[in-house]
Amino acid sequence: MAQRTPDYDAVVVGAGFAGMYMLYRLRELGLSVRVFETGTSVGGTWYWNRYPGARVDTETMFYSYQFSEALQQEWDWPERYPAQADLAAYARHVADRFELWPDIQFETRVDAARWDDAAGLWTVETDDGTQVTARFCVMATGCLSAVNYPEIDGLEDYAGETYHPAHWPADGVDFAGKRVAVIGTGSSGVQSIPVIAEAAAHVTVFQRTANYVMPAHNRPMAADEVAEIKANYPALRAKAKQSFSGNYFPVAGPSALAVSEEERNREYEKRWAMGGLAIMATYADFQTSEAANETASDFIRNKIRTIVKDPDVAELLAPKQLFLCKRLCVGTDYYETYNRDNVTLVDISETGIDRVTPEGVCVAGHTEPVDVLVLATGFDAVTGALKRIDIRGVDGLALREKWADGPRTYLGLGIAGFPNLFTITGPGSPSVLTNMIPSIEQHVEWIADCVRHMRDAGLDRIEAERDAETDWVAHVNDIGDQTLRATCQSWYFGSNIPGKPRVILPYAGGFPAYTEKCDEVAAAGYTGFALR
């Protein structure tokens, strides 16, 4: 039994799409909830990532909440892939509609959370030194929220303006007449480079690894298309949940090698014309057969050679790693941008960057003078935001220490040694390999059901069991190592952060298998969790 009355029943860290929905569900159960959020408004990823060209790469009629039929019927998305501002407006609408604002404290960063086993309470400490206690602590801290600033010699001495896409000034950046360097060619670089190139005098792109970029073919939503989706929303959403990524992408067949080259290329052409991420589901053996995977890799490499006029530049842009090894990017005029006179591509795959000088970026002894430096260098993905908080469990165990060799969780929801702490889309759950919003909803609903079960059964404490956690971590690693994702350096495995253990972060077994497991665990009285 809890020894004293806490300030709140639950603290939720983060007011992105996960934190907002968690607040809604816990409040619905009658819990008192405090949400802490570093930003000045809701939206999380879609609050922070204000860089030019930022837009979601999943079709937004499906990258949106489905928990409220009224919400999904009333909201109108302007475009197939809405821009950051539209996603932020949607987040604010949700906060208005469900009256979430009063329970969210903005401009407040959570620095620490300590579990007191005798009291059965978490003490959560914020950056102004305030401490609050709660029975439950839910980490809704996001998978791509802990910004990665690169370790490059001389960066601190650079005399021009420096920006990271996820810390972009709200008022934008004026690139007119300026020489710009962009370091990084993941999604943020891919989306921003074409937009920056239209405004700047010159853009120099420093590329360590070329990525596969599908055209978005973004467009305004047509009224009849919207009406049809809205009329069939529940069925379409249900269908998406049965697919590996929680997105409804039609699968053309079990193997790319089971069909002729002509048929395969017809299918790839169809998906290139369709745009977006659907190509990743074309054949079911992209993650298991290198030969199958190469057929898609070659198709995209050939597209790059067709689009990019300078054959040397085209070769540099053609990815060397397997298709889907790193996250597939979706862009607008990305490859076309390299045909512009004011864009230069610098390959740093062999050399890296020597240093940043006060004037610019130095590679292989040559300094490119620039006025603006854009560090599109990504995130300390999945675990970064959790490890940046000093989280202490039973006997003062630090999460950072527990995860020194890689994250250990049970289902990406609970952690042995950290009672009454839940992570939304934590490591070991499908998260970044799926459509994030359905994954968030599945976690929030699972947690809310668990809290309801505890309340109804008069239970105060839940903790993942060590053996269940060990088995789950082994399963996550086995599956991750069996996929072709393990064949390159990517943030899925923590490879982008110097010193980070090379361990798969998301669960790569697919959304349906994962949700089935979570449902089984709950139905059997939360097997693998100790409750009392």
Binding interface with ligand NA7 (CB under 6 A):
144, 150, 152, 165, 183-189, 208-209, 327, 353, 376-379, 491, 496
Q: Given the complex with ligand NA7, which of 6 and 186 has the nearer CB atom? A: 186
Measured between alpha carbons, how far is 181 from 484 in angstroms, rounded to an integer?
A: 32
Q: Given the complex with ligand NA7, which of 207 and 420 has the nearer CB atom? A: 207
Q: How far is the CB of 112 from ligand NA7 (least distance, A)?
A: 27
Measured between alpha carbons, how far is 502 from 148 in angstroms, rounded to an integer?
A: 16
Q: How far is the CB of 188 from ligand NA7 (least distance, A)?
A: 3
Q: Given the complex with ligand NA7, which of 43 and 184 has the nearer CB atom? A: 184
Name the nearest CA neighbour of 469 among 423, 516, 523: 423
Tokens describing residue 101: 């604002």
Q: How far is the CB of 370 from ligand NA7 (least distance, A)?
A: 15
Q: Given the complex with ligand NA7, which of 208 and 408 has the nearer CB atom? A: 208
CA 96 to chain centre: 25
3-state secondary structure 218-233: CCECCHHHHHHHHHCH
Name the nearest CA neighbour of 139 among 479, 476, 440, 484: 440
The CA radius of gyration of the chain, in Å to the nearest whole number, is: 23
Q: How far is the CB of 353 from ligand NA7 (least distance, A)?
A: 6
Collapsed DSSP state (helix, strand, coil) of residue 77: coil
Q: Which residues contact 428 (CB under 8 A, 6 or more apart)?
A: 407, 408, 409, 410, 411, 412, 472, 473, 476, 505, 506, 507
Tokens describing residue 264: 């395969």
Q: How far is the CB of 328 from ligand NA7 (least distance, A)?
A: 8
Q: Given the complex with ligand NA7, which of 43 and 150 has the nearer CB atom? A: 150
Cβ burial 244-270 (10 Å sphere, 16+ → b, else e): bbbbbbeebeebbeebeeeebbebbee
Collapsed DSSP state (helix, strand, coil) of residue 2: coil
Q: How far is the CB of 446 from ligand NA7 (least distance, A)?
A: 23
Q: Given the complex with ligand NA7, which of 188 and 423 has the nearer CB atom? A: 188
Q: How far is the CB of 141 from ligand NA7 (least distance, A)?
A: 15
Minimal CB distance residue for ligand NA7: 186
Q: Given the complex with ligand NA7, which of 189 and 509 has the nearer CB atom? A: 189
